[in-house]
A = this chain, B = another copy of it.
Amino acid sequence: MTGRCPPSLATFTDLYELTMAQAYWREGLTAEATFSFFFRSLPPQRGYLVAAGIDQVVTELEQFHFTTDDIAELQRLQRFDEDFLRYLSGWRFRGTVRAVAEGTLVFAHEPLLEVTAPIIEAQVVETLVVNRLHLHTLLASKAARVRWAAGPHRQVIDFGARRCHGLEAAQAAARCGWLVGFDGTSNVMAGLRYGIPLYGTMAHSFVTAFADELAAFRAYARTFPDSTTLLVDTYDTVEGIKHALRVAAELSQQGHQLRGIRLDSGDLLTLSRIARELADAAGFPQLQIFVSGGIDEYAIEQLVRQQAPVDAFGVGTKVGVSQDAPYGDCAYKLVAYNGQPRLKLSEHKQTLPAAKQVYRFYDAAGQMLYDQIALADEPSPPGGQPLLHEVMRQGQRVVPPPTLEQSRQYFRQHWAGLPPVCKDLHQPAPYDVQLSVALHQLTQKLVAHWGHRLETPRHQG
């Protein structure tokens, strides 16, 4: 493949999307279809999901087309008809997309995004749409749990760059962390790309590069006299803390201030207490205690509950790969074709038919009460706020994408309305999601037609 451009974004598709496309095309199935992206269930211990990746999908759908090189490569596969490939080479995504806003809290069965387009177009983009929305939503949801566990007064910094599954996933993790309220990232590429504040401390290799720990600490402090956080666990942690405080005293004499110390291994509760006591006794009550080392929302919750004197958490590996839920049970399903509702009945995988809207109901204090999943074309229920909005028409954006800052702000407001019982990290109360009478009846009717029983959320009482 030397000498040609790398395959374009459009080739990020499962082969069957293209073979099905050829079959649709040959059979004259060119009518409009609606596909719905949703999660069938929430991952274990999750009370909510944070929808993310929406705007990246829309941006990529605007650019989605097969290049001349792509077509030549597809031709070489000897699976596709010449006339179908000709059709594909002139193809652009011209569909309509309705989606929730980036940072919206969503629940099982609720569509995050719906694509309406001639069926081939809506089908071929499936792999890309699912990949983006799945990953970003997974990472944003994990990060929201971490942010919540840390409480409002401790900083949380994304340290996931080296263990996320690729550079792309690392950018997503940094971005999703910022979306849900992290304070920064260590990932320079993400910081530059998204304008996220950059944080950094030092590595063990820095310490071991010098003849001894104190020499390493002094060297770093000389270079960054007002922004140094010293990593103290390379050899003996308590000794390391004492060395750091000696450097703090030296900096202080020169009119500077050591920012903090970082604990990256061992018994973080005990060590943070020792560090705090020693720092306070040495006259450095403002010295920050920064904790990292394989921690996630569960470890943070425990440290916070035990009142560990920690000022900031660095979260990497377990958060960046969503360790306890590295995938979610999501789907992109055909829900209507040519104006007719469709559904799938496979065991445990039944879908709800037709294009939908989700209405959210709040109490007078702004707390979320319940959601109703309804047909997109039924009248809005009084008091319900619709979550899905048109973002793309005929393949073009109809509204400018929100900035990341706007999405962060939106998430913060939204999050305040989620009942605290739904935020629990272990046994969150299920949030009430109902079906509209019309959607329930339509589903029943179609299921009866296909001779199966229904297993979906109860309809509204």
Contact = CB atoms under 8 A, between A and B. Distances in A.
A264 B223 contact: no
B20 A327 contact: no
Contacts of A79: 224, 227
Given A17-B200, A166-B169, 13 more contacts: A14-B188, A24-B206, A29-B209, A29-B210, A29-B219, A77-B198, A131-B163, A163-B327, A204-B333, A204-B344, A204-B346, A234-B345, A266-B347
Q: How many copies, total?
A: 2
B209 A33 contact: yes
Given A20-B203, A223-B26, A193 B266 contact: no
A9 B348 CA distance: 43
B169 A451 contact: no
Contacts of A22: 223-224
B14 A200 contact: yes
Nearest to A185: B15
A450 interface: yes
Contact of A200 (B19, B172, B202): B19
Interface string A214-232: 0000011011100100000
Contacts of A220: 19-20, 23
Nearest to A267: B347
Contacts of A186: 14-16
Given A14-B188, A20-B203, A234-B344, A162 B209 contact: no
A168 interface: yes
Interface string A117-148: 00100010011101100110000000000000
A342 B223 contact: no
A306 interface: no
